[in-house]
């Protein structure tokens, strides 16, 4: 028989039943999923126009409005990882030739830059050395000077563990008629993020970070300023079809799957068919966001702060140095300089193999230079922090590093006992 590509006959016993090992994941994502979210993923499928499913879609929008702290009509998930939400927003809001200002202070700023360029934008970049962020006034001044059509910026930069303050940028954008787009993938549900109070026109969140839902959806929200641009482009799409057309550079949204104007019709009461909603992921999203809101956002932010404090205290007691400007540290990601003479990758491997705990390295100029430790969502808890500190200390001792044995976990326990 013809075996294309040298495919061998299928051996029915070659593959064992799926059984991934339980892990303690302390990376900046994906993190351990909430057990209740995992359960939600296993529920029976509902048809996409079943009234019961319609109700779940509507409830999810309402939950997302609370999560994003917005009165926006539009708050729904784009089906795909967080990056699909970023692509949907930028592809839908940037027309070829638009002037787009992008302040970059880490890897995900470069991603915004790349996507904006693919959208045909004329991009103006501001760069900050990794480890720091911008003063909001610097960005506001650049907005006033450059008068862009759109500004895109990362709120929590997981590559460097930094948090960009956003207050004050929105009003500068409104003065020049620019839309302000924010990547809040790493911060949503873990760090205060105020869509309306900060005058953000479009925000993209993530599921697999502080919400502890598996990767695969990108909740987005946008206001009527953003929607006006969508509707204009939709008019042009129809106009071009009938041979009319607005301005010579005006273009319909190039993507079908990621066209927010089509997605909002699907999420509107009209429920105009677009793609098939990801049933199981929607269950997971609804459950994950419900859990976050029922904990209480303020309480949740405080919990992330507490475990960050315990972790930092334990790391310092081990004689380790934290990376980056402490004035703009992202509470949910703690970056540590790999000490001289230590092979950072070997330590990570030992943590995973010996202790079942995963931490991350970083990208580009920081690859191998820092460890990144995530304390996000369900993974952000005392047992995980203590386990990691003990495991890291043991691994460093194993590598021959001199350190005051036992003090790290004690330092973290001091923080927890103070709380009790
Ligand atoms: C993780 C992350 C992304 C990308 O998310 P995916 O789900 O992998 O597409 C984008 N921006 C930031 C700030 C992130 O931390």
348 is in an annotated binding site: no
DSSP conformational letter for 71: -
pLDDT at 240: 58
Q: What is the pTM of this model?
A: 0.96
Would you say residue 268 has pLDDT above 70?
yes
pLDDT at 315: 98
* Block residue for tokens 């879609």: 57
Task: Report CA(52)–ligand 1 centroid distance (Å).
Answer: 31
Residue 32 contacts residue 379 (beta carbons within 8 Å): yes
Q: Quote the tokens at residue 127.
A: 């760069």
Terminal CA-to-CA distance of the chain, rounded, Å?
A: 71
Protein residue whose Cα sits closest to atom 2 of ligand 1: 185
Would you say residue 236 has pLDDT above 80?
no
pLDDT tens-digit profile of 255-266? 999 999 999 999
Q: What is the mean pLDDT of the chain?
A: 95
- The DSSP string of 262-302 is HHHHHHSTT----S---HHHHHHHHHHHHHHHHH-HHHHHH
Would you say residue 209 has pLDDT above 70?
yes
pLDDT tens-digit profile of 42-58? 999 999 999 999 999 99
Task: Report CA(155)–ligand 1 centroid distance (Å).
Answer: 11
Closest CA to 221 of 169, 164, 157, 267: 267
Give the mean pLDDT of 238-260.
Answer: 73
How crowded is residue 309: how many other Cβ atoms within 10 Å of its Cβ?
A: 17
Helix axes 382-398, 344-355, angle to 10 degrees: 120
Give the mean pLDDT of 9-35.
Answer: 95
Give the mean pLDDT of 114-130.
Answer: 97
Closest CA to 315 of 332, 344, 338: 338
Task: Report CA(417)–ligand 1 centroid distance (Å).
Answer: 34
Would you say residue 242 has pLDDT above 70?
no
Quick one: which atom of ligand 1 is closest to the CA of 157? 13
Percentage of residues in the chain having pLDDT higher than 70: 96
Give the mean pLDDT of 196-223.
Answer: 98
Would you say residue 6 has pLDDT above 80?
yes
Closest CA to 339 of 319, 358, 324, 353: 319
Best mutation site among 86, 161, 186, 207 for ligand 1 pocket (most ligand atoms within 8 Å of CB)? 186
- The DSSP string of 123-137 is EEEEE--TT----HH
What domains, with CATH codes, occur in the chain? 35-292 (3.40.640.10), 296-419 (3.90.1150.10)
pLDDT tens-digit profile of 344-398? 999 999 999 999 999 999 888 899 999 999 999 999 999 999 999 999 999 999 9
Quick one: which atom of ligand 1 is closest to the CA of 155? 13
Residue 82: exposure state from Cβ atoms within 10 A (0-12, 13-18, ≥19): buried
CA-to-CA distance for 153 and 354, rounded, in angstroms? 39
pLDDT at 234: 85
Closest CA to 278 of 41, 87, 72, 117: 41
- Which residues partner with 104 through β-bridges? 127
Would you say residue 248 has pLDDT above 80?
no
Closest CA to 387 of 311, 305, 323: 311
Would you say residue 419 has pLDDT above 90?
no
pLDDT at 241: 53
Task: Report CA(173)–ligand 1 centroid distance (Å).
Answer: 24
User: Residues with Cβ within 6 A of ligand 1?
Assistant: 28-29, 81-83, 108, 154, 156, 158, 183, 185-186, 206, 208, 215
pLDDT tens-digit profile of 124-176? 999 999 999 999 999 999 999 999 999 999 999 999 999 999 999 999 999 99
Question: How far out from the chain centre does Cα 345 lie?
Answer: 24
pLDDT at 363: 87
Give the mean pLDDT of 92-115.
Answer: 97
Best mutation site among 158, 188, 376, 377 for ligand 1 pocket (most ligand atoms within 8 Å of CB)? 158
pLDDT tens-digit profile of 55-74? 999 999 999 999 999 999 99
């Amino acid at each position: 028989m013809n075996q294309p590509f040298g495919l061998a006959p299928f051996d029915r016993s070659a593959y064992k039943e799926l059984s991934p090992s339980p892990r303690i994941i302390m990376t900046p994502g994906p993190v351990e999923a909430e057990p209740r979210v995992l359960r939600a993923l296993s529920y029976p499928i509902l048809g996409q126009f079943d009234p019961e499913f319609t109700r779940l879609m509507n409830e999810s929008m309402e939950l997302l409005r609370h999560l994003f702290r917005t009165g926006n009509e539009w708050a729904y998930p784009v089906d795909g990882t967080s990056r699909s939400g970023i692509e949907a927003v930028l592809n839908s809001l940037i027309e070829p030739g638009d002037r787009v200002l992008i302040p970059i202070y880490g890897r995900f700023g470069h991603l915004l830059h790349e996507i904006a360029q693919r959208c045909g934008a004329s991009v103006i970049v501001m760069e900050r050395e990794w480890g720091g962020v911008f003063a909001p006034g610097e960005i506001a001044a650049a907005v006033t000077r450059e008068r862009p059509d759109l500004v895109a910026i990362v709120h929590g930069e997981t590559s460097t563990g930094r948090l960009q303050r956003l207050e004050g940028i929105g009003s500068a954008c409104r003065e020049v008629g620019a839309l302000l787009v924010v990547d809040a993938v790493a911060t949503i549900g873990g760090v205060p993020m105020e869509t309306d109070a900060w005058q953000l026109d479009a925000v993209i969140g993530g599921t697999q970070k502080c919400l502890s839902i598996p990767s695969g959806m990108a909740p987005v929200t946008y206001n009527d300023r953003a929607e006006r641009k969508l509707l204009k482009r939709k008019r042009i799409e129809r106009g071009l079809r009938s041979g009319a057309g607005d301005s010579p550079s005006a273009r319909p949204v190039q993507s079908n799957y990621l066209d927010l104007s089509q997605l909002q019709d699907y999420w509107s009461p009209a429920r105009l068919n677009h793609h098939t909603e990801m049933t199981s992921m929607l269950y997971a999203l609804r459950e994950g966001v419900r859990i976050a809101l029922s904990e209480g956002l303020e309480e949740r932010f405080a919990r992330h702060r507490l475990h960050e404090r315990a972790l930092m205290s334990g790391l310092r007691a081990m004689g380790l140095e934290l990376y980056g400007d402490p004035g703009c540290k992202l509470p949910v990601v703690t970056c540590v300089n790999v000490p001289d003479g230590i092979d950072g990758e070997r330590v990570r491997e030992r943590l995973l193999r010996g202790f079942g705990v995963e931490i991350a390295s970083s990208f580009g100029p920081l690859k191998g230079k820092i460890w990144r430790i995530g304390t996000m969502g369900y993974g952000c808890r005392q047992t995980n922090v203590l386990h990691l500190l003990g495991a890291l200390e043991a691994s460093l001792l194993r590598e021959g590093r001199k350190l005051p044995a036992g003090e790290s976990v004690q330092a973290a326990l001091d923080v927890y006992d103070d709380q009790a």
